Structure 1
Amino acid sequence: MGQDLSADGFNPRDRARYRRKVQRCLDTLGRMLADGGFSFPRRHIGLELELNLVDEEMRPSMNNQEVLEALDNPSFTTELSQHNIELNVPPRPLAGNSAIALERDLHEYLSTADHKAGRAGARLGMIGILPTLTHEHFDQKWLTNAARYVMLNDQIFAARGEHIRLSMDGVELPGHPPERLRTHAESILPEAACTSLQLHVQVAPEEFAAHWNAAQCLAGVQVAIGANSPFLLGKALWHETRIPLFLQATDTRPEELKNQGVRPRVWFGERWITSIFDLFEENVRYFPGLLPETDEEDPVDALDSGQAPKLSELRLHNGTVWRWNRPVYDVVDGKPHLRVENRVLPAGPTVLDMMANAAFFYGAQRALAEAERPMWTQMSFQAAEDNLYAGARNGFDAQLYWPGIGWVPPDELMLRVLLPLAHEGLRTADVAEASIERYLGVIEQRCLARRNGASWQRQMVELAQRHGADRETALSQMLGRYLTLSTTEEPVHTWPTTL
């Protein structure tokens, strides 16, 4: 979804041409997989970080174009709403002390960007959902001024035929009744409320299925341990409210199609896979094109002439099916490669917390992918999906299913089973011991404290309300303190919980 599009509308011929072109791209990808036409010199990792812009009053700052001009750095780009920007960090090897170098680079990117954003009256916020968002910030006028965002909004609403419904039942704050959200939106901007940390790992074609299946197994515990999105539109909802919000904000299905079992475009999937081809084939089979833009390249001709085909239509289509673990085909310096993009984690709270989340994922994913007996042969796909929603809803209070153990809290699962696996996976990847201990030590201490970004936010808001603040004031006060603490190198489990 990073590419811009024509500002012209689409007609039925465009859609028919696009469908044929996507199928031709899929056939070409099948040939490449069969012929071994992929580059895999070494394992690379990368990340994307979505950020909020906040003004002095802790409200969204709707000036991303002005901020990007001040930044003048191609690593920062626009996102859907005018209060969002995205940071794309160049990929690098996983081995050695690369993770510590990445942490240092992230600090430099963000501190420099925050300083320059201040010239435009904004500051950066790394948080899963900005808790001071209100309905007025979902007005279509706040879409970033780019053709692709306007067209995506229009196409989703055209497919749906009605306003977007947001409906969630929350997890109660201590001493308070559960809260419910029932509202509608007239744009897809609720999607822009969801800011995430997206982790990439390059894998060989023959290894892709194992790494994707492993990522699916880990999704539930990732969100439970890393939750950082407990408030939306003033309501205390799920610990990781991004998960249901993103699903609902981009849902092209009216109720009748949901009742028929039509698949949502924000999708966990429905089965373990044997090849990356399975995922792209499902995308083509189940989802109509939202942005049927075609280019001039014939992928078959490109492949026959010895070039790496761009597969532009297949990649564009893949960008409008928001899997929590997405397959990626890309071409860099004329060489094609494959990646798993892990999308379940929220942004924040600190750079160190995000690096710890990333290190755990890379290590545990590799260990599971290389295990003698694959975990997905012992666990139903439905159990993995149920874990995702349980972890997102309840955070540390979730009960997750794991083969050989049964139902277990995420902190116990992490400490007993998954942290040792992550250690093993990182060592196998030749990650330096100092990096392993630094980042997995943060995860261990977070589990022992049972405190992540979501639990800290919820505790601080409840405390402020007990001292007489209304919800709006409590959220603003909490966010101000959160933003100050998030720029430190102190992970969230060590943050103070007093007013």
Structure 2
Amino acid sequence: MGKDLATIAFAPEGRVNFRHKVRSCMDALAQMLDNDAFDDQDGMTGLEIELNLVDDEGRPAMRNAEVLGHLADPVFQTELGQFNLELNEPPRPIAGLGSYEQDILDRLRRAAERAAKADTGLVLIGMLPTLTPDHLVLENLSANERYRLLNDEMAGARGEQFRLDIHGEERLRSASDSIVPEAACTSVQFHLQVAPGRFARYWNASQAMAGPQVAIGANSPWFHGRRLWAETRIAVFDQATDVRPDELKAQGVRPRVWFGERWITSVFDLFEENVRFFPPLLPIMEDEDPLKILTAGGIPRLGELRLHNGTVYRWNRPVYDVLDGRPHLRVENRVLPSGPTVADLLANAAFYFGLSRQLADEERPIWSQLPFDTAEDNFYRGARDGISAVMHWPGTGEIAVTDLVRSVLLPKAAQGLDRFGVDPADRDHLLGIIDGRCRTGQNGASWQTAVVRDAERRGLTREAALYDMLRRYRTHQDTNEPVHSWPV
């Protein structure tokens, strides 16, 4: 932004001016949508993969600045915690999905070699099981003024401690003065570029399939030594960033981590809700006049709208961006954890891209048959119960998610990948991994749980069992053999 964020103090009039600027951005966006100004190409994708850094014993390593110095590679960036990194894979057509695997493996191999210079290893996992509350403190926030500013604004809006109260197989209660516990949540984001006229169909499809998606891909069962949800990352992210005190919750104020509340008819619906329902957290102004640029025949960045949109944490988020002078829209799918392997990660990607395409193309769309509240209920069932979840699906009623995926969703995903032009061999390889999880009943969450339980039966303490499990997890991850084939 060209501003020294360390010196910024947000005055009340600055927030008012920011809101006016966001409204100007919305007016510009509306004109661009009306005038067909967008790139209408479907089928481009990019991936964001979050990583954990650990020392030789498997403890979180607060060394991301040092590791980035050794990497000297712009595709790797900091994340919220000093024990996090993010890998941003460059965009490519979904038709080339099969080429991602070796590229990511090569990048991670080089990154691991460089990280070793800082006595640090890399782990793809939804939540690092060796994290303790002592690790998730403000001192371990990454050295980035934007993160500190965001923390200060969210903590100020909250006005009291952020509280976690998660009921799962076991229960966890804790509190924090900062948003740093959010750093425990390491995820993968799939970006899907779509034409504006089809955006609503893809977003609705993404929402409808979020429950089965997270159930099959769950990989976050352990947090602070407790077995909570299969995908505990969902609950932690919900609660660790909730800036609403109890009074605002009682008044029905919406949370910033949000599934949503209705099917949409246009991408504009989502941006408009974000502006209407959520006050700005980072009211940082740019010099651009979006309407003036648009009138002159240019393409505005819409910086204030993009900044505000980035502080509303929808599980499927709309994204406006400009590439090579052309504006485009993307669905950012944020529901899945990182790992367990690159092969598993790309299988999850194939399932998402293929199924969302097929559901978006169907003449009678799934969202005309599935109540939105039921889709949300499926999402939280999937996060809580993982691969053993039971969900409601039109035409089947209540059904085990493994049966739903094998009998209904995988065939649709295969059709969708065919429409994207994915090579049949890559399609069958990647979707076969999803089928393998359903056949065996084993995904990352169930494997982690079974290994820890077995270690405890052999007499290990919970802490020792978690460290032993992580050691085995890292060994299997290095083989890139999918998690459903890992021995317990």
TM-score, structure 2 normalization = 0.99
TM alignment of 1:65-76, pairs within 5 A: 65-76=65-76
Which has the larger displacement, 123-132 or 483-492?
A: 483-492
Residue aligning to 2:12: 12
Distance 1:41 1:232 in 2: 41
CA distance in 2 between counterparts of 1:435 and 1:225 reads 19
Select which of 288, 297, 310 maps to 2:279: 288
Residue 275 of structure 1: how far off its partner (Å): 0.4
Contact 2:126 2:219 in 1 (8 A): yes
Q: Aligned partner of 1:80: which letter?
A: L
Asked whether the equivalents of residues 4 and 147 of structure 1 are also in contact (C-alpha less than 8 Å), the reply is no
Mapped pair 1:155 → 2:146: no
Number of the residue aligned with 2:51: 51
Q: Structure 2 residue aligned with 1:422, among 406, 410, 413?
A: 413
1:83-121, Cα deviation, whole Å (9 max, x unpaired): 0010000000112xx112111101001111011101001
Return the letter of the residue paired with 1:391. Answer: G
Cα gap change, 1:259/1:3 in structure 2, threshold over 3 Å: closer, same or farther? farther
Q: Which of 389, 401, 421 is residue 392 of structure 2 equivalent to? A: 401
2:469 aligned partner: 478
Aligned counterparts, 1:62-461, within 5 A: 62-95=62-95, 98-171=96-169, 179-461=170-452
Q: What SS does the aligned partner of 1:327 have?
A: strand
- CA distance in structure 2 between the aligned counterparts of 1:81 and 1:259, rounded to whole angstroms: 31
- Please give the alpha-carbon distance, in whole angstroms, between the structure 2 residues aligned to 1:9 and 1:472: 43
Query: Which residue in the other structure is 2:27 paired with?
Result: 27
1:469 aligns with 2:460: yes
Identify if the C-alpha distance between structure 1 residues 5 and 403 changes in structure 2 by more than 3 Å, giving closer, same or farther: farther
SS at match of 1:128: coil
- The alignment partner of 1:62 has SS state of coil
Distance in 2, matches of 1:284 and 1:459, equals: 44
Equivalent residue letter for 1:249: A
Distance in 2 (alpha carbons) for counterparts of 1:491 and 1:89? 21
Assess if the C-alpha contact under 8 Å between 2:48 and 2:86 holds in 1. Answer: yes
CA distance in 2, matches of 1:268, 1:435: 31
Matched with 1:176 is none
The answer to whether the 8 A contact 1:326-1:342 is kept is yes
Q: Is the 8 A contact 2:47 2:89 kept in 1?
A: yes
Output the amino acid matched with 2:17. Answer: R
Q: CA deviation at 1:4?
A: 8.1
Question: Could you tell me which amino acid in structure 1 is paired with residue 180 of structure 2?
Answer: L
Residue pair 2:46, 2:190 contacting (<8 A) in 1 also? yes
SS of the residue corresponding to residue 360 of structure 1 reads helix
Confirm or deny: 8 A CA contact 1:5 1:148 kept in the other structure.
no
Letter in 2 for 1:346: P
Does structure 2 retain, via aligned residues, the 8 Å contact 1:325–1:340?
yes
User: Which amino acid in the other structure matches residue 340 of structure 1?
Assistant: V
Q: TM-score, normalised by structure 1?
A: 0.96
User: Partners of 1:421 and 1:387 in 2: how far apart?
Assistant: 19
Q: 1:448 to 1:4 in 2, by over 3 A?
A: farther
- Aligned-pair identity in percent equals 55
User: In 1, are the aligned partners of 2:201 and 2:360 still within 8 Å (CA)?
Assistant: yes
* Alpha carbons 2:47, 2:188 under 8 Å: kept: yes
What displacement does 1:138 show? Answer: 1.4
Q: Is the 8 A contact 2:41 2:194 kept in 1?
A: no
Q: Take 2:358 and 2:42, find their aligned partners in 1: how far apart are those partners?
A: 17
What's the CA shift string for 1:234-285, capped at 9, x where partnerless? 1100000011100101101011111111100000000000000000000000
Which residue of the partner structure matches residue 37 of structure 2?
A: 37
Distance 2:12 2:475 in 1: 52
Q: Contact between 1:330 and 1:336, CA under 8 Å: does it hold in 2?
A: yes
Shift of 1:492: 0.2
Q: Secondary structure at the match of 2:333?
A: strand
Instruction: Give the Cα separation in 2 of the matches to 1:479 and 1:298.
Output: 51
Q: Distance in 1 between matches of 2:100 and 2:3?
A: 29
Cα offset, 1:43, TM superposition: 2.2
Q: Secondary structure at the match of 1:137?
A: coil
Q: CA deviation at 1:489?
A: 2.3
Secondary structure of 1:134's partner? coil
SS in 1 for 2:479: coil
The number of residue pairs the alignment matches comes to 487
Amino acid at match of 1:325: N
Distance 1:169 1:5, change over 3 A: farther
Output the CA distance in 2 between the equivalents of 1:44 and 1:389. 29
1:411-453 CA-partner distances (Å, limit 9, x unpaired)? 0000010000001111111111011111001111110001000
2:265 aligned counterpart, secondary structure: coil
Question: Could you tell me how far apart the structure 1 residues matched to 2:208 and 2:4 are?
Answer: 35
Partner Cα separation in structure 1 for residue 432 and residue 361 of structure 2: 23
State the Cα distance separating 1:41 from its structure 2 match: 4.0
Q: Secondary structure at the match of 1:10?
A: coil
Q: Deviations over 1:181-206 (max 9, x none)?
A: 01101110111000001000100000
Cα distance in 1 for partners of 2:97, 2:286 equals 38
Once the two structures are TM-superposed, the CA of residue 300 in structure 1 deviates from its matched residue by 0.2
2-structure distance, mates of 1:295, 1:200 = 26
| Cα offsets for 1:342-361 (capped at 9, x unmatched) | 00000000000000000010
